[in-house]
Amino acid sequence: MPKDHGIGASSKRREDVRFLTGRGKYTDDMAIAGQVHAVFVRSQVAHGRIKKVDTSNAAKMPGVLAVFTGEDFKDVGGNPAGWLIKSRNGEAMREPKRPVLAHGKVRHVGDAYAAVVAETLAQAKDAAQQIADDSVIEELPAIVDMAAAVANASNRVHDEIPDNLCYDWGWIEDNRAKVDEAIRNAPHVTTLELVNNRLVPNAMEPRASIGEYFPGTGDYKLTTTSQNPHLTRLLVAAFVLGIPENKLTVVAPDVGGGFGSKIYHYGEEALVLAAAKQLARPVRWTAERTESFLTDAHGRDHVTKIELACEKDGTFIAFRTETMANVGAYLSNFATVTPTFLHGTLMAGPYKVPNVYVNVKTVFTNTAPVDAYRGAGRPEATFSLERVIDKMCRELGLDPFEVRRKNFVTTDMFPYTTPVALVYDTGNYHATLDKAMEMADVAGFETRAAASKAKGKLRGLGLSTWIEACGIAPSHLVGILGSRVGLYDAATVRVNATGNISVMVGAHSHGQSHETVFAQIVADKLGIPEASVEIVHGDTSKIPFGMGSYGSRSLAVCGVAMAKAVDKIIAKGKKIAAHMLEAGEGDITFADGKFSVAGTDKAKTFGEIAFSAYVPHNYPLETLEPGLEETAFYDPANFTYPAGAYLCEVEVDPDTGKVDIVGFYCADDFGNIMNPMVVEGQVHGGVGQGIGQALLENTRYNEDGQLLSGSYMDYAMPRADDVPFYTVDYSCQTPCTHNPLGVKGCGEAGAIGSPPAVVNAVIDALHRGGFTHVTHIDMPVSPSRVWSAIHG
Amino acid sequence: MHNFDFVKPSSIADAVKAMGQDGAQALSGGQTLIPTMKQRLAAPSVLVSLTGIKEMQGVCMGEGGLHVGAATPHAIVAREAKSHYPALAALAGGIGDPAVRVRGTIGGSIANNDPAACYPSAVLGSGATVVTNKRKIAADDYFQGLFTTALEEGEIVIEVVFPIPEKAAYVKFNQPASRFALTGVFVAKFASGVRVAVTGASQNGVFRWTDAENALGRSFNAQMVSGLTVDASEMIGDLHGTPAYRANLVKVLTSRAVAAAG
């Protein structure tokens, strides 16, 4: 029988009470006495030299309090890149300054080069328009296409970077010659060139920030839409504005979705703080949807050539990948690691392939910055691999299921070191594939295909077997690879005198259900009701430290820190209990919320122990501090490796090219499950985003660098009728071997595993319909593209 | 959005008078105008709401067919035209989403004449008459290209009168993002002949596909369309479809509309 509380129960989401009744409290909901409004003046051209920014007329307009230009910030720091990546030749990546406001040049449409603060939003908008009218920006040829950017050394996004190249990275460089040799000598090589389409994150809540300055104390406060308030504090304080960290509080209240885009620090946050200081008034800004499209960090945008070398029976010999990754105009905080260590290290997939080499050239263009977006590098790796495997199976007439089985790393091989330097701790890839095939009734597919054919539709089945590395990440390892921060996380468990508990966690919850699931874990471990546990997050003045929510790391890193803090509480409780029960500490056991003397009926409840810690009348004060509060930092020993098998079934209308997803089946191994309902929700959301990428979302800049898909009139988001009822299973569990909860992470899985399953299904449908000339269609696989491919 | 004055006259005469002011702009359901104003791409100084005028509201049978008041929201047409003109009601019920349908109006739609809007195809496909405060305009004369109509400055659409065909159907293929018609085809069979109006596809806005009308006039059967070709040279090409793709959709959707009309 399923549990009704604690670990493994589908406890209802407590955050839904406020979210579903309109009582959430988001940044834009905060009304602060005396607040004033910032509006940014943004470039209309993709690339231009700033000849003049004249703010004098704007400054005299009604209600205008302050104007800012790039000149005002030229002496403060830039927004830095979080990872230093080295090129194949050992050179450090090129790292141009990313200023608060553009100075000298504007580098993408939407690049802010001035800002106005006024009493009202309308006054600020009027003045911003005036500045735009009074400015002279000499338009330069836009650099949009990556290949052209690298080939044309004279047209530069950053004047100091001659070939627009951030770095030329090889992984692993020592593999290169061996992989080349293996491919040269292989009996069969399948080559596929593909695009991993750029995505706009489209969080429902746009970015918003409020800066406050308190002249009486010299303190600053930034309320902002962040997945990562401590990182934002670090970047604003230490790198950009030079505010002492202990004088700046960053609060990320309810945040309406991030998907990666709100991990990073953005210039608007620094501007509202600087303006608040200057004016001694709260300064607020909320992005309009157009600003979100133009300036949120976008995702993906890879152009890849992948080669798969194999035996005639489909046994893999080597994978070789050459990718160009678009980083946009500036380096966003994680932009350099996403196409490298979050992508290249996954290019072995769940397969025992002996030879893998990955080359990534990361290129500056006059487009919005690109950074990690749900899955971040791993969807790109999975898409390349699973598409080229599918193509190989067609070329050699092999069964795609059997080819995967033949090549899977088997359960007796763990821990398994891949040729791209990851060590998979555990997994069972055959089990998830078998489960997915059973759920999808693969055996009955031909009957369903015949029924589709009878009504003029083409039915197809697509498979993707995926793996990811998440629970990011072991600090010593990422330090070697170029990370400039550690990737542990932290939690404080504060037992109050009355026995209820406040847990301050570093991970920020903006849809992930931490407030529910983390409380389940604490309650389960302490044997108390979930309602007695409150989760506090998103405020740097309250929580010990945190490295943010992304990379499916909240539970596997912060959750483990929290569990360790609970263990410390129990250990201290045992000491207190030993004193109160007049027993040896070693004789005290803790179970079901009670500290007992082993072998006796002497016991104290958790509440009694908590009370004693705060009212220490009968307490070992000589050897033990009063109070019951513990903090733990946890630095993982390895990544975690969720994996799974996804099957997608589609119907294609050959007359219109429309693809309907009629079934989607996910068999995932996430290790131990804390809350099945929440896991299902995460998979549904992830697969929905993957389907969006596969079928709908088309971010297109024209050759002038104008974003053609800059509104919902042209950027297609998945809607309810675009996605099927999902069939989700997580019963194939191989618990993570190196964290005490045995958890792996489930937040990104759906977005990683689903796009190739969808595209493989469409190609399968077309082949079954006789259109065997179609070997690939780039995402989004829109009706027009499908129809054109059929008739191409 | 910039500041503006707002008036809501209760008679056509008052509306016409209000429209005479400098910078006046008629406002019906506001489904295009309000977003445009929010983006500061339009800044009328006076908005003249047409939703408070009784004779511009509602659906009823009368001389010449079904009279639809210009300020009637799509949701009302979807509900109240159903028994009189099911194809028109179905088209109205498929525009946008529920929020759009309770605000947006037929008059606003055809006055704007968005090349991807649904209503123009019904008006043209039915051979309807657009009645304004000044005159009656035949649909064939009314639509004059992208966002262009026969309306003069300050002229207000009062109602649209639809002759009721023997059979009709509208089939649209959604643009994936906006869910406007990537292409939509309205087919209506009258005793006097067949009309086929296409929206969403052409660079010149809604148009009649006369080859199909002639073929279907001989026999109202989906097969009659299969031998025809559609010239792609005047079709729209954009993010969502090439001209050739839209030309294909015109043909496919016309067949499907004929089949749906029965």
Q: Is the dihedral of CA B62, B64, B66, B68 positive or negative?
A: negative
Mean pLDDT across chain B, nearest whole number?
A: 97
Q: Which residues contact A574 (CB under 8 A, 6 or more apart)?
A: A585, A588, A590, A595
How far off is chain B from A451, nearest CA to CA, in Å? 20
Tokens of A113: 């080069």
B177/A708 Cβ within 8 A = no
Residue ranges, comma separated, of all CATH 3.30.465.10 domains in chain B are 56-162
Topology given in CATH for the domain delimited by B56-162: 3.30.465
On whether the CB atoms of residues A392 and A310 are closer than 8 A, the answer is yes
- Chain A CB within 8 Å of residue B39 CB: yes
A714/B178 Cβ within 8 A = yes
A784/B241 Cβ within 8 A = yes
What average pLDDT score do residues A618-626 get? 96
Which helix or strand (DSSP H or E) is residue A363 part of? strand A355-364
What average pLDDT score do residues B151-160 get? 96
Domains of chain A: 18-140+202-295 (3.90.1170.50), 302-472+638-790 (3.30.365.10), 488-634 (3.30.365.10)
Binning pLDDT at 50, 70 and 90, where does residue B1 land? Answer: confident
Distance, in Å, from the CA atom of B62 to the CA atom of B82, rounded to the nearest integer, reads 15
A290/B245 Cβ within 8 A = no
Q: Give the residue on B whose Cα is nearest the Cα of A790.
A: B245
What average pLDDT score do residues B44-58 get? 96
In A46-196, which ranges are E strands? 48-53, 64-69, 105-106, 112-118, 135-139, 165-171, 188-196
For B87, phi and psi rounded to 5 degrees? -65, -40
Residue B94: alpha-carbon gap to chain centroid: 12
Q: Which residues of chain A does B39 touch, with a Cβ-Cβ cutoff of 8 Å?
A: 290
Q: Which residues of chain A does B242 touch, with a Cβ-Cβ cutoff of 8 Å?
A: 784, 788
Q: Give the residue on A whose Cα is nearest the Cα of B249.
A: A656
B244/A290 Cβ within 8 A = no
Distance, in Å, from the CA atom of A642 to the CA atom of A551, rounded to the nearest integer, reads 12
Q: Which of residues 133-192 of B touch A (CB under 8 A)?
A: 173, 176-178, 182
A715/B177 Cβ within 8 A = yes
Residues on chain A bordering chain B, Cβ-to-Cβ distance under 8 angstroms: 122, 125, 129, 290, 655-658, 695-696, 698, 700, 708-709, 712-717, 782-784, 787-788, 791
How far off is chain A from B177, nearest CA to CA, in Å? 4
On whether the CB atoms of residues B71 and B55 are closer than 8 A, the answer is no
Give the C-alpha distances (Å, rounded to integers) separating A725 from A667, A673, A685. Answer: 15, 22, 12
How far off is chain A from B228, nearest CA to CA, in Å? 15
Q: Give the residue on B whose Cα is nearest the Cα of A121.
A: B1
Q: Which residues of chain A does B200 touch, with a Cβ-Cβ cutoff of 8 Å?
A: none
What pLDDT sits at residue A580?
Answer: 97
Q: Give the residue on B whose Cα is nearest the Cα of A708.
A: B239
- Smallest Cβ–Cβ distance between A655 and the set B1, B177, B252 belongs to B252
User: SS3 of B75, please?
Assistant: helix
Residue ranges, comma separated, of all CATH 3.30.43.10 domains in chain B are 5-49
Q: Which residues of chain B does A694 touch, with a Cβ-Cβ cutoff of 8 Å?
A: none
- Smallest Cβ–Cβ distance between A782 and the set B40, B240, B248 belongs to B240
What is the side-by-side strand order in the sheet with A603-605? A588-591, A594-597, A603-605
- Chain A CB within 8 Å of residue B218 CB: no
Q: Give the residue on B whose Cα is nearest the Cα of A291.
A: B39
Q: Give the residue on A whose Cα is nearest the Cα of B32.
A: A713
Mean pLDDT across chain A, nearest whole number?
A: 97
Q: Which residues of chain B does A712 touch, with a Cβ-Cβ cutoff of 8 Å?
A: 177-178
- What digits encode the pLDDT tens for the residues B102-127? 999 999 999 999 999 999 999 999 99
In B153-258, which ranges are E strands? 157-162, 167-174, 181-190, 193-199, 207-208
Q: Which residues of chain B does A788 touch, with a Cβ-Cβ cutoff of 8 Å?
A: 242, 244-245
Q: Give the residue on A whose Cα is nearest the Cα of B177.
A: A716
What pLDDT sits at residue A153?
Answer: 83
B249/A656 Cβ within 8 A = yes
How far off is chain B from A138, nearest CA to CA, in Å? 24
What pLDDT sits at residue A152?
Answer: 87
Q: Which residues of chain B does A698 touch, with a Cβ-Cβ cutoff of 8 Å?
A: 239
How far off is chain A from B230, nearest CA to CA, in Å? 15
- Smallest Cβ–Cβ distance between B178 and the set A290, A713, A791 belongs to A713
Binning pLDDT at 50, 70 and 90, where does residue B258 land? Answer: very high
In the A/B pair of chains, how many CB contacts fall below 8 A?
Answer: 52
Interface test with A, best of B239, B250, B251, B252 (most A CBs within 10 A): B239
Interface test with B, best of A294, A784, A785, A791 (most B CBs within 10 A): A784
B173/A788 Cβ within 8 A = no
Class of domain B167-261: alpha beta
Would the pLDDT of A534 be above 70? Answer: yes
Residue B168 is which amino acid? A
CATH 3.30.43.10 fits domain B5-49: yes
Strand A726-729 and strand A659-669: the pairing is parallel
Q: Give the residue on B whose Cα is nearest the Cα of A700.
A: B239
Q: Which residues of chain B does A782 touch, with a Cβ-Cβ cutoff of 8 Å?
A: 176, 240-241
Cβ count within 10 A of residue A313: 12
Would the pLDDT of A526 be above 80? Answer: yes
Distance, in Å, from the CA atom of A504 to the CA atom of A633, rounded to the nearest integer, reads 12
Would the pLDDT of A1 be above 70? Answer: no
B248/A783 Cβ within 8 A = no
3-state helix vs strand vs coil in chain B, percent to 5: 35, 25, 40
Would the pLDDT of A2 be above 80? Answer: no
A783/B239 Cβ within 8 A = no
Tokens of A739: 């964290």
On whether the CB atoms of residues A763 and A462 are closer than 8 A, the answer is yes
Q: Which residues of chain A does B239 touch, with a Cβ-Cβ cutoff of 8 Å?
A: 698, 700, 708-709, 714
On whether the CB atoms of residues A730 and A668 are closer than 8 A, the answer is yes
- What digits encode the pLDDT tens for the residues A252-291? 999 999 999 999 999 999 999 999 999 999 999 999 999 9
Distance, in Å, from the CA atom of A63 to the CA atom of A134, rounded to the nearest integer, reads 19
How far off is chain A from B7, nearest CA to CA, in Å? 22
A290/B239 Cβ within 8 A = no
